[in-house]
């Protein structure tokens, strides 16, 4: 049994980690921190977790509390992990960070997209990007894993197979993606209250959303770690009036027009043939089909009129887009089967 610490367990990703770890046969959560909820019972904040955690209480975010744990998951706001990770690496076996603090390889991108310099840029070279379907090599035994972001996961799963096949042009890629409100986190915000979100659908982060360079980095990186030059993505996220889910609709131009729908579907099917958490089908993906599961649903078309490739991916933003992805990465790090403790089946209705 592996002892698990969840640092930042009071937010939605932390609660999802607690839910997933509860059904994991090899994980035992011994520490759950929540700085603003210290002293609060987990079952009081999330009654849905009461059956498995009747006596667990949120503790202050003290790195010493995680001493000796096999894995520490970090579900913290951006920037907080940079301060905490250097200390945790000497206290726990492995760190899996759900924030963006260690996802980008180029430290110069952080001030450009996140508005501040990276505090520990030397660790960027050590951090392994946590999207197993694309970057499995390097996960086994890794000390530090930067789990992929929710939007980049959906966009990368849709586009990377075509980029690696050399089937699409590197420039002019467009990603339109919609997320459920849980992607904005648990703390209330004026634009995420029920009255603000209900019966509304809005685009945000126009031309400057911070997930843009992560998407570009992910789809530009090939299986051998080399990168394709000239990759550029116009990414526009949208807020949809639903609790969970991401639907990414991605557009790219095939190289020399040499791709049709059958060929596009074959590329996806062949690429993900052995991946338990990917469904490739002619059906148009649905966010509700992914609810509660760690599975991504994918399809593709080539429009004969415009010549454009259309690739669509649906995921649950809190599972494959965050906490499920983190558990899958932790499984790989520890040498466990990646599917351990994770469902491929969504909850419906």
Domain boundaries, the chain: 2-126, 151-319
Mean pLDDT of 296-318: 98
Q: Are 275 and 342 in contact (CB under 8 A)?
A: no
Cα 289 to chain center, whole Å? Answer: 18
Residue 189's pLDDT is 86
Looking at the DSSP bridge assignments, the partners of residue 300 are 311
Mean pLDDT of 225-249: 97
Q: Do domains 2-126 and 151-319 have the same CATH topology?
A: no
3 state DSSP class of 227: strand
More confident residue, 188 or 298: 298
Enzyme catalytic residues: 150
Residue 35's pLDDT is 84
User: Parallel, antiparallel, or unpaired for β 202-203 and 144-147?
Assistant: unpaired
DSSP string covering 82-121: HHHHHHHTTTSSEEEE-SSTTT-S-TTHHHHHHSS--S-G
Where residue 61 falls among pLDDT bands split at 50, 70, 90? confident
Q: What is the pLDDT of residues 20-29, one digit of tens each?
A: 999 999 999 9
Residue 211's pLDDT is 98
Q: pLDDT at residue 161 above 90?
A: yes
CA quadruple 210, 240, 238, 151: dihedral sign: positive
Cβ-based neighbours of 317, under 8 Å, separated by 6 or more = 150, 179, 180, 182, 183, 244, 245, 246
Computed over every residue of the chain, the mean pLDDT equals: 96
As a whole number of angstroms, the distance between CA 254 and CA 260 comes to 9
- Tell the CATH topology of 2-126: Rossmann fold (3.40.50)
Is the pTM higher than 0.85? Answer: yes
Return the CATH number of 151-319, one of 3.30.360.10, 3.30.70.1380, 3.40.50.300, 3.40.50.620: 3.30.360.10
The per-type count for the chain, helices as H runs and strands as E runs, is: 10, 13
Mean pLDDT of 271-296: 98
């Amino acid at each position: 049994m592996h002892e698990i610490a969840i640092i930042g367990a009071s937010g939605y990703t932390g609660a999802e980690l607690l839910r997933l770890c509860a059904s994991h046969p090899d994980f035992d959560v011994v520490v759950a921190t929540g700085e603003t909820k210290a002293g609060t019972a987990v079952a009081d904040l999330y009654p849905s977790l009461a059956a498995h955690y009747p006596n667990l209480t949120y503790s202050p975010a003290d790195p010493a509390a995680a001493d000796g744990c096999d894995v520490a998951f970090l579900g913290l706001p951006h920037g907080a992990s940079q301060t905490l990770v250097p200390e945790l690496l000497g206290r726990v076996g492995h760190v899996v960070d759900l924030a963006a603090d260690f996802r980008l390889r180029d430290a110069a991108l952080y001030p450009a997209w996140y508005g501040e310099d990276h505090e520990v840029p030397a660790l960027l070279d050590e951090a392994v990007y946590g999207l197993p379907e694309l970057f499995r090599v390097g996960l086994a035994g890794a000390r530090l894993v930067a789990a992929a972001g929710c939007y980049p996961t959906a966009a990368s799963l849709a586009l990377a197979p075509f980029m690696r096949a050399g089937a699409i042009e590197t420039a002019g890629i467009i990603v339109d993606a919609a997320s459920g409100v849980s992607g904005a986190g648990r703390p209330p915000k004026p634009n995420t209250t029920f009255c603000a979100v209900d019966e509304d659908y809005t685009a945000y982060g126009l031309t400057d959303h911070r997930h843009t360079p992560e998407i570009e980095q992910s789809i530009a990186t090939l299986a051998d770690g080399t990168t394709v030059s000239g990759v550029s993505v116009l990414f526009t996220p949208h807020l949809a009036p639903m609790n969970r889910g991401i639907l990414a609709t991605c557009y790219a131009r095939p190289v020399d027009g040499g791709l049709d729908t059958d060929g596009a579907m074959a590329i996806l099917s062949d690429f993900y043939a052995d991946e338990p958490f990917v469904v490739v089908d002619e059906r148009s993906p649905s966010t509700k089909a992914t609810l509660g599961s760690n599975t991504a649903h994918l399809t593709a078309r080539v429009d004969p009129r415009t010549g454009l490739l259309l690739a669509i991916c649906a995921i649950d933003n809190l599972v494959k887009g965050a906490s499920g992805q983190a558990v899958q990465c932790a499984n790989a790090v520890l040498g466990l089967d990646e599917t351990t403790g994770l469902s491929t089946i969504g909850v419906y209705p």
